[in-house]
Amino acid sequence: MIIRSAVLEGTVAEADRAAFDGHMATTVLAAIARYPGIREVRLRRPVETEAGAPPVYMVFDLAFDTLADMHAALASPIRQEVRGRIAEVMKLFAGRVYHLVLEEGPAAKGTA
């Protein structure tokens, strides 16, 4: 499994957070979910950070079976729509956005 994470490192003013978060959680998430070949998309927000950690505001994790599936999705016309949906509120975000492409390894289950 391939995970492409879009990391939004920065801040949104308190007065703009509800609008920004709502747009990302509904409009943008729904648009990304339409990528061809996507298995799952998740929106994650930090609830705690360690001292010295970068100020990550939110992360989108997009799951694909293969790198080829990911590249096909990113080359699709839907990506331009997604970029447009994101651009609608990015003026409210102060920071940078970067992407990580990760291969998911084996998992272990806890005893809880």
In contact, 101 and 1? CB cutoff 8 Å: no
E strand or H helix at 11: strand 2-12
Beta carbons within 10 angstroms of residue 16's beta carbon:
15
11 pLDDT more than 90:
yes
Question: For the segment 67-83, what is each residue's pLDDT rounded down to a tens digit?
Answer: 999 999 999 999 999 99
Write down the pTM of the prediction: 0.91
DSSP SS3 for 98: strand
